[in-house]
Structure 1
Amino acid sequence: MPGPRLILLCGLPGSGKTTLARRLATDLPAVRLCPDEWLTNLGIHLYDEKARDLLERQLWRHAQDLLRLGQTVILEYGFWARSERDELRLAARALGAAVELRYLEAPVEELWRRLRDRNGTPGTAPISRDSLERWVPLFEAPDEAELALYDPA
C-alpha cells in the first residue's frame, strides 16, 4: 500500500483545479479539501479573507492528520505564491508524505471564457475580467527548478 501523499493544485481561477481534484479524488482515491466549497456550505462569503484564512489553516491541520494516517489528500487552494507551496511541501515531507504539485495553466482568454461560463453557478464567486487581469501578474507560476522539488504524479 502506498504511503501518505499530498497533492497541491496550483493555478488561477478557471484553470481546471476543481475538475481535476474531483477526478483524482475518485480515481486515486483521495480526500479533497476545497475552501470555496466549505465556505459556501457554511454560508460564508467567498471573499471574506479572514474566514478564508482561518478555514485554510484548519483544513491544513486536518490534512496533516490525514497524512499521518497514511491518506492521500488534495488541497485545492490555488497556491499562487511559491512561499506557500514550499511551506506545505516541507511540512508534508516532515510527516513522511510524498508531495505532488499539479500546475494547471491556460491562456488568459481561456481562463476568462471558463470563468464567464461558470459565473452565477451556485457555490462559485462571480469573477470579473478586471479581477482576473489584476490577479495574473500576482500569480507566481512554478518554474522547472521548483517543479523538480516535487514527487512525480
Structure 2
Amino acid sequence: MTNVPRLILLCGLPGSGKSTLAKRLERDLPAIRLSPDEWIHDLGVDLFDEPFRAKLEHKFKTLAHDLLRQGQDVVLDFGFWGREERDELRAQARALGASVELRYLAVPFDELVRRLDVRNREGFVVITEQLLTTYTQVFEAPDDAELSGYD
C-alpha cells in the first residue's frame, strides 16, 4: 500500500482558527505548514502589502507542489476566500496524484470580532470590525456542493 500525499487547504476569515488548526495538523499528521501571515510578520513586511503577499503565496504554492511530488503532506494556511483559487489548487494537486482536503472554519461574525479583539491587543496585526465587515463581503464561503468535491 502506498502513501498518497495530502494537500489540506484551510479556508476561513481572520479569527476563524485557521492558524491554530494548521499548527495542530503540522504536529499531528505530520505535515509541512505554510502560513503567509507568519512569514510576512517574521520578515518584517507589512501584512497588508498585497503585492508581496501574492508573490509569497505563489512561491508557497510552487513549494507545496514540489513537496506533494515527494510524497509529503502539506497544509496551506491561506484563507482561500475565492472558489476559483480553491478549484485551481484542487485540480493541480490531484494532477500530481495527491488527495485534497478543504477544511472550512465557519465562525459566526460576533465570535470573529471577539477573537480579533483579543488578537488585536497582542499586536500581531490589527483587524477592525469595519475591516472584517469588508472581508465578509468578498469572501466566497464554500457550499455543500463544493465541499463534497474534496477528499
Quote the Cα distance in structure 2 between the aligned partners of 1:111 and 1:120: 14
Q: CA deviation at 1:92?
A: 0.4
Partner of 1:51: 52
Partner of 1:128: 128
> Which AA in structure 1 matches 2:132?
L
Quote the Cα distance in structure 1 between the aligned partners of 2:91 and 2:121: 37
Aligned ranges 1:51-70 → 2 under 5 Å: 51-70=52-71
Aligned ranges 1:1-153 → 2 under 5 Å: 2-122=3-123, 124-151=124-151
Q: Could you say what secondary structure the match of 1:126 adopts?
A: coil
Of all paired residues, the percent bearing the same amino acid is 59
Structure 1 runs of 4+ off > 2 angstroms?
A: none
Quote the Cα distance in structure 2 between the aligned partners of 1:8 and 1:90: 13
Q: CA deviation at 1:120?
A: 3.8
Task: Kindly tell me the number of residue pairs found equivalent between the two proteins.
Answer: 150
> Which AA in structure 1 matches 2:142?
P
> Which AA in structure 1 matches 2:133?
E
- CA-based RMSD: 0.9
Deviation by residue 1:76-116 (Cα, 9 ceiling, x = unmatched): 00000000100000000000000000000111000000000
Deviation by residue 1:111-131 (Cα, 9 ceiling, x = unmatched): 000000011425x31100100
> Where do 5+ consecutive residues of structure 1 fail to align?
none
> Which AA in structure 2 matches 1:102?
R
Q: CA deviation at 1:41?
A: 1.3
Quote the Cα distance in structure 2 between the aligned partners of 1:80 and 1:144: 16
Quote the Cα distance in structure 2 between the aligned partners of 1:105 and 1:111: 10
Normalised by the size of structure 1, how large is the TM-score?
A: 0.95
> Where do 5+ consecutive residues of structure 2 fail to align?
none
Q: CA deviation at 1:58?
A: 0.4
Q: Could you say what secondary structure the match of 1:119 adopts?
A: helix
Q: CA deviation at 1:138?
A: 1.0
> Which AA in structure 2 matches 1:65?
D
> Which AA in structure 1 matches 2:33?
R
Q: CA deviation at 1:2?
A: 2.3
